[in-house]
Amino acid sequence: MEKEVLEKAEYCLNCKTKPCQQACPLGNDIPTFIAYLKEQNIEEAYQILSKTTVLQSICGRICPHEQQCQGNCVRRFKSQPTKIGDLEAYVGDIALEKNFPFSKEKITTMNKKVAVVGGGPAGLTCAAFLARAGYKVTILEKYNQLGGLLRHGIPEFRLDRNILDKVIDKIIQLGIQVQYGQELGKNITIQELEQQYDAIFLSFGANIPAKMQIEGEELVGIYGGNELLEKEIHPNYVGKKVAIIGGGNVAMDCSRTIKRMGAEEVYVIYRRAEKQMPAEKKEIEEAKQEGVQFLFQNNIVRIQGKDKVEKIECIKTNLIKKEGETRESPVNVEGSNYEIPMDYVVMAIGSTTEKQVIETLQKEGIQINSRGYIQVNENYQTSHPKVFAGGDNIGQKATVAWAAKAGRDAAYQIEKFLGK
Protein backbone atom coordinates (compact mmCIF):
# COMPACT_ATOMS: atom_id res chain seq x y z
CA MET A 1 0.00 0.00 0.00
CA GLU A 2 1.36 3.42 -0.99
CA LYS A 3 2.87 5.46 1.85
CA GLU A 4 0.98 8.60 0.78
CA VAL A 5 -2.37 6.78 0.87
CA LEU A 6 -1.63 5.33 4.31
CA GLU A 7 -0.74 8.80 5.60
CA LYS A 8 -4.06 10.18 4.30
CA ALA A 9 -5.90 7.31 5.98
CA GLU A 10 -4.08 7.79 9.29
CA TYR A 11 -5.12 11.46 9.23
CA CYS A 12 -8.78 10.41 9.72
CA LEU A 13 -9.97 10.52 13.36
CA ASN A 14 -12.60 7.79 12.77
CA CYS A 15 -15.26 9.90 14.49
CA LYS A 16 -18.07 7.98 16.15
CA THR A 17 -20.59 10.65 15.13
CA LYS A 18 -19.57 10.25 11.44
CA PRO A 19 -20.45 13.74 10.12
CA CYS A 20 -18.81 12.84 6.80
CA GLN A 21 -21.15 9.89 6.33
CA GLN A 22 -24.18 12.01 7.16
CA ALA A 23 -23.14 14.52 4.48
CA CYS A 24 -22.59 11.86 1.81
CA PRO A 25 -25.68 11.50 -0.44
CA LEU A 26 -25.03 7.77 -0.62
CA GLY A 27 -24.44 7.43 3.12
CA ASN A 28 -21.08 5.69 2.62
CA ASP A 29 -19.62 4.45 5.93
CA ILE A 30 -16.49 6.54 5.53
CA PRO A 31 -14.83 6.12 8.97
CA THR A 32 -15.16 2.32 8.78
CA PHE A 33 -13.72 1.94 5.28
CA ILE A 34 -10.83 4.22 6.23
CA ALA A 35 -10.27 2.18 9.42
CA TYR A 36 -9.74 -0.90 7.23
CA LEU A 37 -7.36 1.12 5.04
CA LYS A 38 -5.29 1.89 8.13
CA GLU A 39 -5.00 -1.86 8.63
CA GLN A 40 -4.02 -2.11 4.93
CA ASN A 41 -7.04 -4.34 4.36
CA ILE A 42 -8.11 -2.84 1.03
CA GLU A 43 -10.55 -5.59 0.09
CA GLU A 44 -12.54 -5.19 3.31
CA ALA A 45 -12.51 -1.40 2.84
CA TYR A 46 -13.99 -2.02 -0.61
CA GLN A 47 -16.63 -4.35 0.80
CA ILE A 48 -17.74 -1.60 3.22
CA LEU A 49 -18.08 0.92 0.37
CA SER A 50 -19.84 -1.63 -1.83
CA LYS A 51 -22.71 -1.86 0.63
CA THR A 52 -23.84 1.60 -0.50
CA THR A 53 -22.18 2.32 -3.87
CA VAL A 54 -20.81 0.70 -7.02
CA LEU A 55 -19.14 3.89 -8.36
CA GLN A 56 -16.18 4.18 -5.96
CA SER A 57 -13.55 5.02 -8.59
CA ILE A 58 -15.89 7.59 -10.17
CA CYS A 59 -17.38 9.34 -7.14
CA GLY A 60 -13.95 9.44 -5.52
CA ARG A 61 -12.82 11.59 -8.46
CA ILE A 62 -15.73 13.81 -9.45
CA CYS A 63 -18.02 14.32 -6.45
CA PRO A 64 -18.14 17.83 -4.94
CA HIS A 65 -16.40 16.54 -1.81
CA GLU A 66 -15.94 20.00 -0.31
CA GLN A 67 -19.72 20.41 -0.18
CA GLN A 68 -20.38 16.87 0.99
CA CYS A 69 -18.16 14.45 2.96
CA GLN A 70 -14.90 16.41 3.16
CA GLY A 71 -16.75 19.64 3.79
CA ASN A 72 -18.13 18.14 7.01
CA CYS A 73 -14.94 16.48 8.29
CA VAL A 74 -14.27 17.64 11.87
CA ARG A 75 -10.59 18.21 11.07
CA ARG A 76 -11.55 21.17 8.88
CA PHE A 77 -12.02 23.35 11.99
CA LYS A 78 -8.34 23.33 12.99
CA SER A 79 -6.57 22.17 9.84
CA GLN A 80 -7.44 20.50 6.53
CA PRO A 81 -10.17 17.85 6.12
CA THR A 82 -9.33 14.23 5.40
CA LYS A 83 -8.94 13.59 1.65
CA ILE A 84 -11.90 11.23 1.53
CA GLY A 85 -12.32 11.39 -2.25
CA ASP A 86 -8.71 10.38 -2.87
CA LEU A 87 -9.06 7.42 -0.52
CA GLU A 88 -12.32 6.24 -2.07
CA ALA A 89 -10.86 6.44 -5.60
CA TYR A 90 -7.76 4.54 -4.47
CA VAL A 91 -9.84 1.71 -3.00
CA GLY A 92 -12.04 1.59 -6.12
CA ASP A 93 -9.02 1.48 -8.45
CA ILE A 94 -7.35 -1.36 -6.53
CA ALA A 95 -10.65 -3.27 -6.59
CA LEU A 96 -10.79 -2.90 -10.38
CA GLU A 97 -7.17 -3.99 -10.73
CA LYS A 98 -7.56 -7.05 -8.48
CA ASN A 99 -11.17 -7.79 -9.46
CA PHE A 100 -12.57 -7.72 -5.93
CA PRO A 101 -16.26 -8.77 -5.94
CA PHE A 102 -18.92 -6.19 -5.03
CA SER A 103 -20.12 -8.56 -2.35
CA LYS A 104 -18.99 -11.88 -0.90
CA GLU A 105 -22.60 -12.99 -0.54
CA LYS A 106 -23.83 -15.63 -2.97
CA ILE A 107 -26.43 -14.33 -5.44
CA THR A 108 -29.76 -16.16 -5.32
CA THR A 109 -31.41 -16.04 -8.76
CA MET A 110 -34.93 -14.56 -8.87
CA ASN A 111 -37.33 -15.38 -11.67
CA LYS A 112 -38.24 -11.71 -12.18
CA LYS A 113 -37.09 -9.35 -14.94
CA VAL A 114 -36.44 -5.61 -14.71
CA ALA A 115 -35.84 -3.11 -17.52
CA VAL A 116 -33.63 -0.12 -16.79
CA VAL A 117 -34.09 2.66 -19.36
CA GLY A 118 -30.88 4.69 -19.49
CA GLY A 119 -27.33 3.66 -18.62
CA GLY A 120 -26.13 6.70 -16.67
CA PRO A 121 -25.15 6.76 -12.96
CA ALA A 122 -28.73 6.17 -11.74
CA GLY A 123 -29.39 3.37 -14.21
CA LEU A 124 -26.05 1.63 -13.71
CA THR A 125 -26.43 1.74 -9.93
CA CYS A 126 -30.02 0.51 -9.98
CA ALA A 127 -29.09 -2.32 -12.37
CA ALA A 128 -26.11 -3.33 -10.22
CA PHE A 129 -28.05 -3.51 -6.94
CA LEU A 130 -30.92 -5.43 -8.58
CA ALA A 131 -28.50 -7.88 -10.22
CA ARG A 132 -26.75 -8.37 -6.87
CA ALA A 133 -30.17 -9.20 -5.40
CA GLY A 134 -30.62 -11.88 -8.06
CA TYR A 135 -33.00 -10.21 -10.53
CA LYS A 136 -32.59 -10.48 -14.29
CA VAL A 137 -31.77 -6.97 -15.46
CA THR A 138 -31.62 -5.46 -18.93
CA ILE A 139 -30.34 -1.92 -19.56
CA LEU A 140 -31.88 -0.17 -22.59
CA GLU A 141 -29.49 2.53 -23.82
CA LYS A 142 -29.98 4.97 -26.72
CA TYR A 143 -26.26 5.37 -27.45
CA ASN A 144 -23.78 2.64 -28.37
CA GLN A 145 -21.98 2.94 -25.04
CA LEU A 146 -23.11 3.09 -21.42
CA GLY A 147 -22.27 5.90 -19.02
CA GLY A 148 -24.80 8.63 -19.73
CA LEU A 149 -23.70 11.84 -18.03
CA LEU A 150 -20.45 10.15 -16.96
CA ARG A 151 -19.44 9.65 -20.59
CA HIS A 152 -21.27 12.46 -22.38
CA GLY A 153 -21.38 15.17 -19.74
CA ILE A 154 -18.03 15.10 -17.94
CA PRO A 155 -14.84 15.93 -19.88
CA GLU A 156 -12.11 13.31 -20.03
CA PHE A 157 -9.68 15.57 -18.21
CA ARG A 158 -11.93 15.12 -15.16
CA LEU A 159 -12.87 11.47 -15.64
CA ASP A 160 -10.50 9.09 -17.45
CA ARG A 161 -12.54 7.03 -19.94
CA ASN A 162 -10.40 3.98 -19.21
CA ILE A 163 -11.50 4.10 -15.55
CA LEU A 164 -15.13 4.63 -16.60
CA ASP A 165 -15.04 1.65 -18.96
CA LYS A 166 -13.58 -0.60 -16.26
CA VAL A 167 -16.27 0.43 -13.74
CA ILE A 168 -19.04 -0.22 -16.29
CA ASP A 169 -17.54 -3.59 -17.30
CA LYS A 170 -17.44 -4.66 -13.66
CA ILE A 171 -21.12 -3.78 -13.25
CA ILE A 172 -22.14 -5.58 -16.47
CA GLN A 173 -20.25 -8.69 -15.31
CA LEU A 174 -22.94 -9.12 -12.65
CA GLY A 175 -24.95 -10.72 -15.46
CA ILE A 176 -26.70 -7.60 -16.73
CA GLN A 177 -27.90 -7.61 -20.34
CA VAL A 178 -27.57 -4.46 -22.47
CA GLN A 179 -29.53 -3.43 -25.55
CA TYR A 180 -28.12 -0.41 -27.41
CA GLY A 181 -29.96 1.95 -29.75
CA GLN A 182 -33.10 1.83 -27.61
CA GLU A 183 -34.86 5.15 -27.02
CA LEU A 184 -38.16 5.74 -25.28
CA GLY A 185 -40.70 7.31 -27.63
CA LYS A 186 -38.78 6.28 -30.75
CA ASN A 187 -38.44 2.50 -30.77
CA ILE A 188 -39.65 1.41 -27.32
CA THR A 189 -42.76 2.21 -25.31
CA ILE A 190 -43.81 1.68 -21.71
CA GLN A 191 -46.60 -0.60 -22.91
CA GLU A 192 -44.14 -2.84 -24.75
CA LEU A 193 -41.78 -2.94 -21.79
CA GLU A 194 -44.45 -3.83 -19.24
CA GLN A 195 -45.42 -6.82 -21.36
CA GLN A 196 -41.85 -8.14 -21.22
CA TYR A 197 -40.69 -7.08 -17.75
CA ASP A 198 -41.99 -7.27 -14.20
CA ALA A 199 -40.77 -3.76 -13.35
CA ILE A 200 -39.28 -0.77 -15.17
CA PHE A 201 -36.86 1.90 -13.94
CA LEU A 202 -36.63 5.15 -15.92
CA SER A 203 -33.20 6.74 -15.60
CA PHE A 204 -32.66 8.56 -18.88
CA GLY A 205 -31.73 11.89 -17.29
CA ALA A 206 -32.57 15.44 -18.35
CA ASN A 207 -30.31 16.82 -21.05
CA ILE A 208 -32.25 19.61 -22.75
CA PRO A 209 -30.77 22.97 -21.66
CA ALA A 210 -32.98 25.36 -19.73
CA LYS A 211 -33.42 28.89 -21.09
CA MET A 212 -33.31 32.25 -19.35
CA GLN A 213 -36.19 33.68 -21.41
CA ILE A 214 -34.27 36.85 -22.28
CA GLU A 215 -34.15 38.90 -25.48
CA GLY A 216 -31.84 37.51 -28.16
CA GLU A 217 -31.84 33.93 -26.92
CA GLU A 218 -32.86 32.72 -30.38
CA LEU A 219 -29.72 34.08 -32.10
CA VAL A 220 -27.18 31.83 -33.81
CA GLY A 221 -24.23 31.14 -31.52
CA ILE A 222 -26.17 30.25 -28.36
CA TYR A 223 -25.71 26.74 -26.98
CA GLY A 224 -26.80 24.67 -24.02
CA GLY A 225 -24.02 23.47 -21.73
CA ASN A 226 -25.32 19.92 -21.37
CA GLU A 227 -25.92 19.72 -25.11
CA LEU A 228 -22.34 20.73 -25.95
CA LEU A 229 -20.83 18.26 -23.51
CA GLU A 230 -23.15 15.42 -24.52
CA LYS A 231 -23.08 15.72 -28.31
CA GLU A 232 -19.62 17.33 -28.65
CA ILE A 233 -20.78 19.39 -31.64
CA HIS A 234 -18.67 22.47 -31.02
CA PRO A 235 -18.19 25.52 -33.24
CA ASN A 236 -14.69 26.79 -33.93
CA TYR A 237 -13.72 28.71 -30.78
CA VAL A 238 -10.20 29.66 -31.91
CA GLY A 239 -9.67 33.37 -31.27
CA LYS A 240 -13.30 33.84 -30.16
CA LYS A 241 -14.92 35.26 -27.03
CA VAL A 242 -17.32 32.96 -25.17
CA ALA A 243 -19.61 33.61 -22.22
CA ILE A 244 -20.74 30.75 -19.95
CA ILE A 245 -23.84 31.57 -17.90
CA GLY A 246 -24.09 29.63 -14.63
CA GLY A 247 -22.10 28.59 -11.59
CA GLY A 248 -22.25 24.79 -11.36
CA ASN A 249 -19.87 22.06 -12.44
CA VAL A 250 -21.43 22.03 -15.94
CA ALA A 251 -20.38 25.68 -16.29
CA MET A 252 -16.86 24.81 -15.12
CA ASP A 253 -16.63 21.83 -17.49
CA CYS A 254 -17.82 23.95 -20.42
CA SER A 255 -15.49 26.84 -19.64
CA ARG A 256 -12.42 24.64 -19.32
CA THR A 257 -13.28 22.57 -22.40
CA ILE A 258 -13.85 25.67 -24.54
CA LYS A 259 -10.68 27.37 -23.29
CA ARG A 260 -8.69 24.25 -24.16
CA MET A 261 -10.22 24.32 -27.64
CA GLY A 262 -8.60 27.68 -28.37
CA ALA A 263 -11.04 30.38 -27.29
CA GLU A 264 -9.29 33.73 -26.78
CA GLU A 265 -11.45 34.79 -23.83
CA VAL A 266 -13.85 32.71 -21.75
CA TYR A 267 -16.08 34.39 -19.16
CA VAL A 268 -18.12 32.63 -16.50
CA ILE A 269 -20.97 34.96 -15.53
CA TYR A 270 -22.62 34.18 -12.20
CA ARG A 271 -25.26 36.32 -10.51
CA ARG A 272 -24.20 35.44 -6.97
CA ALA A 273 -20.90 35.64 -5.06
CA GLU A 274 -18.06 33.15 -5.56
CA LYS A 275 -18.65 31.53 -2.16
CA GLN A 276 -22.22 30.71 -3.27
CA MET A 277 -21.19 28.90 -6.44
CA PRO A 278 -22.40 25.29 -6.44
CA ALA A 279 -19.34 24.20 -8.41
CA GLU A 280 -16.55 22.54 -6.47
CA LYS A 281 -13.82 24.95 -5.32
CA LYS A 282 -11.17 22.78 -6.93
CA GLU A 283 -12.90 23.07 -10.31
CA ILE A 284 -13.22 26.86 -9.95
CA GLU A 285 -9.52 27.23 -9.09
CA GLU A 286 -8.43 25.01 -11.96
CA ALA A 287 -10.61 27.01 -14.37
CA LYS A 288 -8.94 30.23 -13.15
CA GLN A 289 -5.50 28.69 -13.60
CA GLU A 290 -6.40 27.77 -17.17
CA GLY A 291 -7.30 31.38 -17.98
CA VAL A 292 -11.06 31.43 -17.51
CA GLN A 293 -12.33 34.83 -16.29
CA PHE A 294 -15.09 35.09 -13.69
CA LEU A 295 -17.68 37.84 -13.38
CA PHE A 296 -19.31 37.33 -9.99
CA GLN A 297 -22.46 39.21 -8.98
CA ASN A 298 -23.25 39.89 -12.61
CA ASN A 299 -26.27 38.82 -14.59
CA ILE A 300 -26.94 38.65 -18.32
CA VAL A 301 -30.10 40.53 -19.34
CA ARG A 302 -29.92 40.65 -23.14
CA ILE A 303 -28.08 39.12 -26.10
CA GLN A 304 -27.58 41.38 -29.09
CA GLY A 305 -26.84 40.80 -32.77
CA LYS A 306 -28.48 40.86 -36.21
CA ASP A 307 -28.57 37.13 -36.90
CA LYS A 308 -25.84 35.80 -34.66
CA VAL A 309 -24.41 36.74 -31.28
CA GLU A 310 -22.39 39.99 -31.39
CA LYS A 311 -22.47 41.22 -27.79
CA ILE A 312 -24.18 40.68 -24.46
CA GLU A 313 -25.68 43.14 -22.02
CA CYS A 314 -25.03 42.47 -18.36
CA ILE A 315 -26.05 44.10 -15.11
CA LYS A 316 -24.38 44.06 -11.70
CA THR A 317 -26.17 42.57 -8.70
CA ASN A 318 -26.26 43.11 -4.95
CA LEU A 319 -26.92 40.28 -2.53
CA ILE A 320 -29.80 40.96 -0.17
CA LYS A 321 -31.27 38.65 2.43
CA LYS A 322 -35.03 38.90 2.18
CA GLU A 323 -37.39 38.12 5.02
CA GLY A 324 -38.07 34.42 5.34
CA GLU A 325 -35.16 33.39 3.11
CA THR A 326 -32.17 31.36 4.34
CA ARG A 327 -29.61 32.86 1.97
CA GLU A 328 -29.02 36.14 0.19
CA SER A 329 -30.70 36.67 -3.16
CA PRO A 330 -29.22 38.59 -6.11
CA VAL A 331 -30.96 41.88 -6.92
CA ASN A 332 -30.10 43.85 -10.06
CA VAL A 333 -28.39 47.21 -9.46
CA GLU A 334 -30.38 49.77 -11.42
CA GLY A 335 -28.30 51.68 -13.97
CA SER A 336 -25.28 49.36 -13.77
CA ASN A 337 -25.83 47.85 -17.24
CA TYR A 338 -22.82 47.37 -19.51
CA GLU A 339 -22.02 45.52 -22.75
CA ILE A 340 -19.31 43.02 -23.72
CA PRO A 341 -18.48 41.98 -27.31
CA MET A 342 -19.13 38.24 -27.59
CA ASP A 343 -19.10 35.49 -30.23
CA TYR A 344 -20.82 32.65 -28.41
CA VAL A 345 -23.00 32.22 -25.33
CA VAL A 346 -23.36 28.92 -23.46
CA MET A 347 -26.31 28.48 -21.08
CA ALA A 348 -25.36 26.25 -18.14
CA ILE A 349 -28.26 27.03 -15.82
CA GLY A 350 -29.90 23.62 -15.65
CA SER A 351 -31.71 21.20 -17.91
CA THR A 352 -35.01 19.46 -18.52
CA THR A 353 -36.14 16.18 -20.04
CA GLU A 354 -36.80 16.05 -23.79
CA LYS A 355 -40.31 17.20 -24.69
CA GLN A 356 -40.89 14.18 -26.93
CA VAL A 357 -40.09 11.79 -24.07
CA ILE A 358 -42.36 13.66 -21.64
CA GLU A 359 -45.23 13.63 -24.16
CA THR A 360 -44.71 9.90 -24.71
CA LEU A 361 -44.88 9.24 -20.98
CA GLN A 362 -48.02 11.33 -20.59
CA LYS A 363 -49.75 9.43 -23.40
CA GLU A 364 -48.94 6.21 -21.55
CA GLY A 365 -50.43 7.46 -18.29
CA ILE A 366 -47.27 8.52 -16.47
CA GLN A 367 -47.95 11.71 -14.49
CA ILE A 368 -45.66 14.70 -14.99
CA ASN A 369 -45.41 17.42 -12.32
CA SER A 370 -45.78 21.18 -12.83
CA ARG A 371 -42.01 21.56 -13.33
CA GLY A 372 -41.96 19.11 -16.23
CA TYR A 373 -40.39 16.21 -14.35
CA ILE A 374 -41.70 12.68 -13.76
CA GLN A 375 -43.92 12.57 -10.68
CA VAL A 376 -42.86 9.89 -8.17
CA ASN A 377 -43.85 9.04 -4.61
CA GLU A 378 -41.49 8.44 -1.67
CA ASN A 379 -40.71 4.99 -3.14
CA TYR A 380 -39.60 6.37 -6.54
CA GLN A 381 -42.80 4.86 -7.97
CA THR A 382 -44.66 6.68 -10.75
CA SER A 383 -48.41 6.77 -11.31
CA HIS A 384 -47.93 3.44 -13.11
CA PRO A 385 -47.33 0.79 -10.38
CA LYS A 386 -44.74 -1.15 -12.41
CA VAL A 387 -42.78 1.94 -13.41
CA PHE A 388 -40.21 3.62 -11.18
CA ALA A 389 -37.99 6.64 -11.94
CA GLY A 390 -34.99 8.41 -10.46
CA GLY A 391 -32.18 10.85 -11.17
CA ASP A 392 -32.38 14.10 -13.11
CA ASN A 393 -35.69 13.12 -14.71
CA ILE A 394 -37.50 13.55 -11.37
CA GLY A 395 -35.90 16.95 -10.75
CA GLN A 396 -33.66 16.04 -7.82
CA LYS A 397 -30.20 17.48 -7.12
CA ALA A 398 -28.18 17.09 -10.30
CA THR A 399 -24.99 15.40 -9.11
CA VAL A 400 -23.62 11.93 -9.80
CA ALA A 401 -23.87 10.88 -6.14
CA TRP A 402 -27.52 11.94 -5.87
CA ALA A 403 -28.33 10.13 -9.13
CA ALA A 404 -26.57 7.00 -7.86
CA LYS A 405 -28.51 7.24 -4.57
CA ALA A 406 -31.78 7.41 -6.50
CA GLY A 407 -30.79 4.35 -8.52
CA ARG A 408 -29.81 2.37 -5.44
CA ASP A 409 -32.84 3.35 -3.37
CA ALA A 410 -35.17 2.69 -6.30
CA ALA A 411 -33.61 -0.78 -6.60
CA TYR A 412 -34.53 -1.45 -2.96
CA GLN A 413 -38.10 -0.33 -3.63
CA ILE A 414 -38.36 -2.43 -6.81
CA GLU A 415 -37.12 -5.41 -4.81
CA LYS A 416 -39.90 -4.83 -2.25
CA PHE A 417 -42.43 -4.43 -5.05
CA LEU A 418 -41.42 -7.67 -6.77
CA GLY A 419 -40.86 -9.68 -3.64
CA LYS A 420 -38.48 -12.56 -3.20
Mean pLDDT across the stretch 194-215?
89
A 10 A CB-CB count for 72 gives 20
pLDDT at 206: 77
Q: Where are the domains of the chain?
A: 3-98, 113-207+353-418, 209-350
Q: How confident is the model at residue 397 (pLDDT cuts 50, 70, 90)?
A: confident
- Tell me the DSSP string of 34-101: HHHHHTT-HHHHHHHHHTT-S-HHHHHHHS-GGGTTGGG-GGGGTSPPP-HHHHHHHHHHHHHHHT--
Q: Is the pLDDT of residue 320 over 70?
A: yes
A 10 A CB-CB count for 100 gives 20
* Whole-angstrom distance, CA of residue 27 vs CA of residue 23: 7
pLDDT at 272: 95
**pLDDT digit string, tens, across residues 39-79:** 999 999 999 999 999 999 999 999 988 889 999 999 888 88
Report DSSP state, residue 315.
E
Mean pLDDT across the stretch 323-331?
84
- Of residues 278 and 222, more confidently modeled: 222
Q: How confident is the model at residue 106 (pLDDT cuts 50, 70, 90)?
A: confident
Percent of the chain with pLDDT over 70: 100
Strand partners, 293: 267
**Model confidence, pTM:** 0.91
CB-based contacts of 381, cutoff 8 Å, min separation 6: 387, 388, 413, 417
Mean pLDDT across the stretch 76-100?
94
Question: 209-350: CATH homologous superfamily?
Answer: FAD/NAD(P)-binding domain (3.50.50.60)
pLDDT at 370: 86
Mean pLDDT across the stretch 81-89?
95
Question: To the nearest whole number, what is the mean pLDDT of the chain?
Answer: 93
CATH 3.90.1530.30 fits 113-207+353-418, yes or no: no
With contact defined as beta carbons under 8 Å apart, do 268 and 300 qualify? no
Helix (H) or strand (E) holding 199: strand 199-202
SS3 31: helix
pLDDT at 29: 97
- Classify domain 3-98 by CATH number: 1.10.1060.10
Mean pLDDT across the stretch 268-282?
92
**What is the helix, strand, coil percentage profile of the chain, to 5?**
40, 20, 40
Domains 3-98 and 113-207+353-418 fall in the same CATH topology: no
pLDDT at 420: 61
Exposed, middle or buried by CB within 10 Å (0-12, 13-18, 19+), for 285? exposed
With contact defined as beta carbons under 8 Å apart, do 263 and 236 qualify? no
